[in-house]
Amino acid sequence: MPRNKINISDEIEHLSVLNEKGQLDKDLEPEISETLLLNIHRTMLLGRRFDERLLNLQRQGRIGTFAPITGQEAAQLGAVAVLRSSDWMVPSFRETAAEIWRGRTMESLILYYSGFNEGGRIPDDMNNLPVCVPVATHLLHAVGLAWASGYRKKDDVVMTFFGDGATSEGDFHEGLNFAGVYRTPVIFVCQNNQWAISVPRSKQTRSQTLAQKALAYGIPGLQVDGNDLLAVYSAAKEAVERARSGGGPTLIECVTYRLMMHTTADDPKRYRKEEEVQEWVGRDPLPRFQKYLIENKKLLSKEKIDRLETEIKEEIQAAVERAEEQKSKLKEPLEMFDHVYAELPKNLKEQKAQLAGELSGNKKEDGHD
Amino acid sequence: MTNITMVQALNLALRQEMEKDDGIILLGEDVGVDGGVFRVTEGLIEKFGEQRVLDTPLAESGIVGMSIGMAAYGLRPVCEIQFSGFSYLSFHQIESHASRLRWRSQGRFHVPMVVRTPYGGGVRALEHHSESREAFYAHMPGLKMVIPSGPRIARALLVSAIRDPDPVIFFEPKALYRAFREEVPDEEETSPLGKSRLVLEGEDLTMISYGAMMRPSLDAASELKDKDGIRVEVIDLVTISPLDDELFVQSVKKTGRAMVIHEAPRSFGPGAEIVSRLVEKAFFYLEVPISRVTGFDILIPLFSRENYYLPNVQRIVRSARQLLKT
């Protein structure tokens, strides 16, 4: 029996608009309004400085573990900037900048990383799912939300974020497969930051790209320079438009780099070389985008950036203070029984009463009333 | 009123609820065209269409994970895992997300979904098709774990589970799917989750059971009455978690003797929790130690020997007589 060829596309495109030297490909430059460009830049800078401040707070023991985003600002913001507020964002745990873009307050993040459940509260008017720690499991929630949006005849789309390590998880594959089968309006944004804690991208898969995984599920996949805000934006815009008009899901692989540690509990010196990090510092998305705004768009100047830095510093400081104030009001641990069920079952009522009793007993033992 | 099997009763519950609420979506493997391998969803794709009854790809985590997204959006998915022995491929979705999203989002999102799945032995099936692992799911805060014991209660419970604002895992005793019929009213009937039921009144001994083990427990009670004159009180737990201990504690305070009957393995099974509650709340009323008639702490054997594993009438009667003798 002969072996006949089945023609399956084996080509994956790589998109770069603003290269690492900051040179612009005019033909590919997306149309973005000046206001939007400046807003994106502001959030990039804020995300970077907030990361630094969080690290500082963590090292002082004022907050717990968190996952820094430094180096990945363009991959996140280029993508979410395309969304409408009624669209959905389904994050993993390394999307601080994207969450801030979507309206999450810095004080809620500080509260959350200080170990208070209240910090995870999602406001009623924000279509974000909460942070999801188990890797890749949330991709299916994005597919379900997107299916439901279509079922209710809405044209809202869903964008979900995850890393290179997630593409090894079964739920990544189930998510892409279900999205393909039901043609749901989901945009899968992979922030390929090269490292899943200590395991490099090369050890996650034999595939040449992560974007090509889409082909097996019959959906479009594209690789972009994830440190190039314009490339990420263009790819996301195309994917969102396709999803919104009924064309189904897309996988976008943003090639980027985690410049800091996996989380504050991790020491990257154990597994990667400083030269590699420095190589990627040279591809930093922030100065690259700033150069574009200064030289190509004439929207920014060194002075304007300095003023912005001062403004952002004050904004972050105010958020830290608000978080401290909120924390001081959140001493009551009995809330831990709330939100487990819609109504407290009898056993939880009994256990809550037990803790309440202990608390009032402690006060008496301490000589308080 | 119609005289129907549990399969038909569950089908009735789904059909009537789907007529009332277009947010109810069924999904799972073979639930559409095939009507489910046990035919619980038979005829529903014809009535409600492919938009409401989804034959999914063969992926349990996908089914449950997608349902969670649908539920977070505001729909009421009812998904089917073909056998509870395959539910472990979606275990993390149930434990890490379905049962936690309300808590994690501080009440913004909730997950009003039902995971239906057949459990238990007695149908001469292959490996992975006969186990009883309700304890796994009863141990998860944020989740409700429900097991019906007959057609009428199954129908009422499924309606309540679908309307419940929290995620419910609904174990269907597959041995009872077609084992007997009951009169089920045409009009709507619900049964509150978290409430056990007094099925038989008695004075001498309390039997606490649920699901497929309710039949041998009731048969044993009847044999004990006829042959020994022992009046057994029988309680159907109905909801394993959150566990309703009021009724059985009250009952044991009256009878002074208690037995727990389930087909799940004994150690760390639901019986362990029930006995603990009795020790905490009725210790001074106990005349004799509490007895557990359960599956052994082994994997349920392949079907030629499963009857030696599953608690049966003789084993329950023997244990009851022991309790009355001491």
- Residue A150 confidence (pLDDT) above 90: yes
Q: Do B107 and A151 touch (CB under 8 A)?
A: no
Is position A258 annotated as part of the catalytic site?
A: yes
Alpha carbon separation from B30 to A173, B55, B88, B250 (Å, rounded): 20, 6, 19, 44
Q: What does the alpha-carbon distance between residue B162 and residue B49 come to, in Å, rounded to a whole number?
A: 19
Task: Report helix angle A229-244 to A73-80, nearest 10.
Answer: 30
Average pLDDT over residues A147-151: 98
**A279, β-bridge pairs:** none
**A222, β-bridge pairs:** A13, A252
Q: What does the alpha-carbon distance between residue A321 and residue A339 come to, in Å, rounded to a whole number?
A: 27
Q: How confident is the model at residue A369 (pLDDT cuts 50, 70, 90)?
A: very low
Question: What CATH number is given for B2-184 in this structure?
Answer: 3.40.50.970
What is residue A103's three-state secondary structure?
A: coil
C-beta separation of A130 from B101 below 8 A: yes
Shortest CA distance from A127: residue in chain B: B73
pLDDT digits (tens, 9 = 90+) for A237-253: 999 999 999 999 999 99
Alpha carbon separation from A107 to A92, A113, A327 (Å, rounded): 19, 10, 10
State the nearest Cα–Cα gap between B100 and chain A, in angstroms: 7
The domain locations on chain B are 2-184, 197-325
DSSP letter, residue B284? G
Chain-centre distance for alpha carbon A332: 31
Is position A288 annotated as part of the catalytic site?
A: no
- The CATH fold assigned to A13-328 is Rossmann fold (3.40.50)
% of chain A beyond a pLDDT of 70: 98
Instruction: Give the up-direction half-sphere exposure of residue A207: CA atoms within 13 A in the CB hemisphere.
Output: 19
Residue B180 tokens, joined? 């007997």
What is residue A212's three-state secondary structure?
A: coil
Is position A112 annotated as part of the catalytic site?
A: no
The interface pTM score, or ipTM, of the predicted complex is: 0.96
Average pLDDT over residues A32-60: 98
Instruction: Give the up-direction half-sphere exposure of residue A172: CA atoms within 13 A in the CB hemisphere.
Output: 22
Pairing of strands B53-55, B24-28: parallel
State the nearest Cα–Cα gap between A150 and chain B, in angstroms: 10
Per-residue pLDDT of chain B (326 residues; tens, 9 = 90+): 799 999 999 999 999 999 999 999 999 999 999 999 999 999 999 999 999 999 999 999 999 999 999 999 999 999 999 999 999 999 999 999 999 999 999 999 999 999 999 999 999 999 999 999 999 999 999 999 999 999 999 999 999 999 999 999 999 999 999 999 999 999 999 999 999 999 999 999 999 999 999 999 999 999 999 999 999 999 999 999 999 999 999 999 999 999 999 999 999 999 999 999 999 999 999 999 999 999 999 999 999 999 999 999 999 999 999 999 87
Taking the CA atoms of B300, B303, B307 and B311 in sequence, report the sign of the dihedral they define.
positive
Chosen from A111, A141, A156, A217 to mutate, greatest number of chain B CBs within 10 A: A141
Shortest CA distance from A149: residue in chain B: B73
Q: What does the alpha-carbon distance between residue A233 and residue A114 come to, in Å, rounded to a whole number?
A: 33
- Residue A294 confidence (pLDDT) above 60: yes
Q: What does the alpha-carbon distance between residue B82 and residue A349 come to, in Å, rounded to a whole number?
A: 35
Q: Do B108 and A152 touch (CB under 8 A)?
A: no
What pLDDT score was predicted for residue A367? 53
- What's this model's pTM, rounded to 2 decimal places? 0.97
C-beta separation of A253 from A224 below 8 A: yes
State the Cα torsion B73-B108-A157-B51 to the nearest 10°: 0
The residues in A 335-364 lying below 8 A from B, measured between CB atoms, are 338-342, 345-348
Q: Do A149 and B73 touch (CB under 8 A)?
A: yes
Closest to B117 measured CA to CA, from B106, B128, B103: B128
- Residue A366 confidence (pLDDT) above 70: no
Contacts of B71 in chain A (CB under 8 A): 144
- Residue A263 confidence (pLDDT) above 50: yes
The residues in A 141-160 lying below 8 A from B, measured between CB atoms, are 141-149, 151-152
What pLDDT score was predicted for residue A332? 79
Q: What does the alpha-carbon distance between residue A359 and residue A296 come to, in Å, rounded to a whole number?
A: 62
Catalytic residues of B: 129
The domain locations on chain A are 13-328, 333-365
- Residue A341 confidence (pLDDT) above 90: yes
**B117, β-bridge pairs:** B171
State the nearest Cα–Cα gap between B303 and chain A, in angstroms: 32
Average pLDDT, chain A: 95
Across the interface, of A148, A170, A347, the residue whose CB is closest to B69 is A148
Range A32-36 contact pairs with CB under 8 angstroms and sequence separation of 24 or more: A32/A230, A32/A233, A34/A297, A34/A299, A36/A81
State the nearest Cα–Cα gap between B108 and chain A, in angstroms: 6
Q: Do A121 and B105 touch (CB under 8 A)?
A: yes
Burial code (b: 16+ CB inside 10 Å, e: under 16) for B129-161 equals: bbbbbbbbbbebbbbbbbbbbbbbbbbbbbbbb
Helix (H) or strand (E) holding B182, with range, is strand B182-184
DSSP letter, residue B310? S
pLDDT digits (tens, 9 = 90+) for A109-128: 999 999 999 999 999 999 99
* B65 and chain A in contact, CB less than 8 A: yes
Q: What does the alpha-carbon distance between residue A13 and residue A239 come to, in Å, rounded to a whole number?
A: 14
Pairing of strands B291-295, B258-265: parallel
Q: What does the alpha-carbon distance between residue B141 and residue A274 come to, in Å, rounded to a whole number?
A: 45
State the nearest Cα–Cα gap between B105 and chain A, in angstroms: 5
DSSP A276-310: HHHHHHTT-HHHHHHHIIIIIS----HHHHHHHHH
Closest to B123 measured CA to CA, from B87, B201, B175: B175
Q: Do B62 and A347 touch (CB under 8 A)?
A: no
C-beta separation of B113 from B72 below 8 A: no
C-beta separation of B320 from B208 below 8 A: no
SS (H, E, C) A302-355: HHHHHHHHHHHHHHHHHHHHHHHHHHHCCCCHHHHHCCCCCCCCHHHHHHHHHH
Q: How confident is the model at residue A364 (pLDDT cuts 50, 70, 90)?
A: low
What pLDDT score was predicted for residue B288? 97
Q: How confident is the model at residue A2 (pLDDT cuts 50, 70, 90)?
A: confident
Q: What does the alpha-carbon distance between residue B176 and residue B120 come to, in Å, rounded to a whole number?
A: 10
Sorted by sequence, the CB contacts under 8 Å of residue A154 that are 6+ apart come out as A86
pLDDT digits (tens, 9 = 90+) for A168-216: 999 999 999 999 999 999 999 999 999 999 999 999 999 999 999 999 9
Pairing of strands B232-236, B197-200: antiparallel
What pLDDT score was predicted for residue B275? 98
Shortest CA distance from A150: residue in chain B: B51
Pairing of strands B291-295, B232-236: unpaired
Which of the listed CATH numbers 1.10.510.10, 3.40.50.920, 1.10.1200.10, 3.30.70.2610 matches domain B197-325? 3.40.50.920
Tokens 């392949």, located at residue: B302
pLDDT digits (tens, 9 = 90+) for A57-112: 999 999 999 999 999 999 999 999 999 999 999 999 999 999 999 999 999 999 99
